[in-house]
Structure 1
Amino acid sequence: MKKDKKASMPSLSTCIEKFSQEDVIAVMEKEYQAAPARLIPTSLIDDTRFIKDVVLSSDTINSFASGLKEKGFYNPLIVRPNGERFELILGRKRFFGAKKAGILSLPCVVNDVGDEEMLLMLLADTRDNRSSNVLEMALVCNALSSMFGYTQKTLAELSHFSRSQITNILRILSLPDNAKNDICLGKLSYGQARTLTSLKGRQLEYAYKKIVDSNMSVRESEQLVRSILKREDLHSDEVMINVSGLVSFSIKNKSVSFAFNSINERDRFLNNLKNNYKN
């Protein structure tokens, strides 16, 4: 595990023990609620860099904006200093709701934590917050893995998921931006998104559009993806059958070698292969 440059961290076992507890964020928020808060201009607060790609729906932002106008802040935002500005740690929906409501200054507790502890706080908050989405979890887990060497076993302990679930969650990051945005907005469920991770390119684009437009269930999505992959395998087999009478070839492991008697024979073979794929 890499060392966080900004702040020294406790041992990994201590971090796991602390941040794997289900109520760790609730306990911290109670402590922050009792701590002295300061008003910070909204214009000086930046979004959380690690999950800034998680899109919030306009309905969510408007709902928080209305609530803050009516009732004000119950809990302060948690931020950390970042030069002459501040970076948000916890309270993202309230932050965007406040900006929408035109609130110029926000009550904040400043916590000077490093990247690693901030990510652990975000992971625990995402895990315990039922309204969070899987993309948020994927981004935080990926950052802990790439920046601090957290293994999938450790991430599983912290998130209360299995290792295979962590693997599947991280695969979500391979999807195109429009699919990830739809996950955030609730148009694409985690189960549907998980089925798409085995596809690429045009196949992925086709399946993604089909699933969303037809509002497919997870089972229907799985069946669609299996049928696409099966068609690809069948097409590959058909091509090999069609070219087998044209030229000699050998198969070794995952490679295929072709032998030609002349350049003309090679060109005829390539033209036939091209025509097979067009069909």
Structure 2
Amino acid sequence: MSKKSSLGRGLDALLSRPQSAESSSGTAVQNVRVDRIVQAAYQPRQVFEPEALAELAGSIREKGVLQPLLVRPRGENFEIVAGERRWRAAQLAGLVEVPVLIRDLGDREALELAIIENLQREDLGPLEEARAYQALLDQGLNQEAVAQAVGKGRSTISNALRLLTLPEAALRALEKGEISAGHARAILAQPEEDRTWALDQIRTRRLNVREAEALKRTARTTAPLPVNPPRPYRQVELALSRRTGTKVRITGEDKGRVELNYASREELDRILELLGYAAED
């Protein structure tokens, strides 16, 4: 199988392409016992929701497995390339056998087909999707080729891959569903040193995505520091304080004010006398 056919069309290419009457293990599609089928070493989908699996099992119990699993020979057994969710649901439904399409595939072809088949179904979690893209990049593809293979824009691939740069705590939160992909992108919009802080804010304050996005405008905002007077004025402040026996503050540079504190009428009279003014009765 050429890379173009496997990457460009995924599992549909294998199912729709005319097949020879015999494959390496017999007819093109055949029934195989579920206990002779094993999981692949790499599975893009890490989470199988029990409720969704039970729902699929109910459908399979009623209508059977409508689309065969794609498998490859592994000794006496068969390794799943695509269709692990159907295989799990079929076991829940009590099926002894499932229809399979058997193909002799190399490790790289099997990996690429497994990833792309899952990506084309568009029901992976955000981290599962990002890791699947990264696995394809690890196989030597570039982002443009990955985008073409899964029928998505390159920016979609790039944005998904950025999720893998989240802090470890945020990765765990995203994987557990404690935050959404939108929350994760809001965290990534923060300066690197503020990302763990942003995650804590989202969790403790139960922020929605829009509120989380607003954190990037307020995270590093602090009240303006008071302007200290130039050093010469500070010396004058000290000198006047010693002379008057009260606190003196000078604000501004070219223009400003001089403030003297007093606690009573008597203290004000004393200060005025020191400055050469006689208090009026």
Verify: 1:166 aligned to 2:160, yes or no: no
- Structure 1 CA distance for aligned equivalents of residues 217 and 18 of structure 2: 50
Whether 1:51 and 2:44 are equivalent positions in the alignment is yes
CA deviation profile, 1:72-126 (whole Å, cap 9, x unmatched): 1112211223344433221232122123334343332222212322233234323
Q: Runs of 5+ in structure 2 lacking a partner?
A: 20-26, 228-281
Q: Point out the structure with the larger helix share.
A: 1
159 and 30 in structure 1: CA distance in 2 versus 1, 3 angstrom threshold = closer
Q: 1:132 aligns with which of 124, 140, 143?
A: 124
1:124-273 equivalences in 2 (<5 Å): 124-146=116-138, 148-175=139-166, 176=168, 177-182=171-176, 188-198=179-189, 202-203=196-197, 205-210=199-204, 213-214=206-207, 216=208, 218-228=209-219, 230=220
- Give, in whole Å, the separation in 2 of the partners of 1:47 and 1:102: 22
- In the TM superposition, what is the alpha-carbon distance from 1:198 to its structure 2 partner? 4.9
2:91 pairs with 1:99: yes
Distance 1:80 1:198, change over 3 A: farther
Shift of 1:37: 1.3
Structure 1 match to 2:234: none
Contact 2:72/2:80 (<8 A) preserved:
yes
Amino acid in the other structure paired with 1:20: G
Q: What residue in structure 2 maps to residue 256 of structure 1? A: none
- Secondary structure at the counterpart of residue 86 of structure 1: strand
CA contact (8 A) 1:43 1:104 kept: no
Instruction: Provide the aligned length of Structure 1 versus Structure 2.
Output: 215
Distance in 1 of aligned mates of 2:202 and 2:11: 35
Q: Name which of 7, 12, 19 aligns with 2:7.
A: 19
Larger CA deviation: 94-103 vs 62-71: 94-103
Distance 1:103 1:188, change over 3 A: farther
Structure-1-length-normalised TM-score: 0.62
Counterpart residue type for residue 197 of structure 1: L
Cα distance in 1 between the residues matched to 2:8 and 2:204: 38
Q: Secondary structure at the match of 1:132?
A: coil
Gaps of 5+ in 1: 1-8, 242-279
Q: Deviations over 1:137-192 (max 9, x none)?
A: 3222211212x221122222223333332222112234445334345xxx644333
Q: Distance in 2 between matches of 1:180 and 1:86?
A: 33
Whether contact under 8 Å (1:134, 1:190) holds in the other structure is yes
Kindly tell me: are residues 83 and 139 of structure 1, through their superposed partners in 2, closer, same or farther at Cα, counting changes over 3 Å?
farther
Pair 28,102 (structure 1): closer, same or farther in 2 beyond 3 Å: same
Instruction: Give the RMSD, CA atoms, in angstroms.
Output: 3.6
Query: Which residue of structure 2 lines up, in the alignment, with residue 114 of structure 1?
Result: 106
2:32 to 36, 39, 61: 39
Amino acid aligned to 1:170: L
Aligned partner of residue 47 in structure 2, secondary structure: coil
| Aligned match of 2:55 | 63
Note if contact 2:34-2:91 (Cα within 8 Å) is conserved in structure 1. no
CA distance in 1, matches of 2:134, 2:77: 26
Instruction: Specify the code of the residue in structure 2 equivalent to 1:155.
Output: V
CA distance in 2, matches of 1:43, 1:226: 56
Cα separation, partners in 2 of 1:118 and 1:227, compared to 1, 3 Å: farther
- Which runs of 4 or more aligned residues in structure 1 lie more than 6 Å from their structure 2 counterparts after TM superposition? none
Residues 89 and 118 in structure 1, CA contact (< 8 A), matched pair in contact too: yes
Mapped partners of 2:121, 2:215: distance in 1: 32
The answer to whether the 8 A contact 1:79-1:89 is kept is yes
Q: Say whether residues 1:74 and 2:60 are aligned partners.
A: no
Task: Specify which structure has the bigger relative contact order, considering alpha-carbon pairs within 8 angstroms and separated by 6 or more residues.
Answer: 1
CA distance in 2, matches of 1:47, 1:208: 37
Q: Distance in 2 between matches of 1:202 and 1:164?
A: 25
Hey, what's the Cα distance between the residues in 1 that align with 2:60 and 2:18?
19
User: What CA distance in whole angstroms lies between the structure 2 residues aligned with 1:225 and 1:81?
Assistant: 52
> What is the aligned-residue identity percentage?
26
Structure 1 SS opposite 2:29 = coil
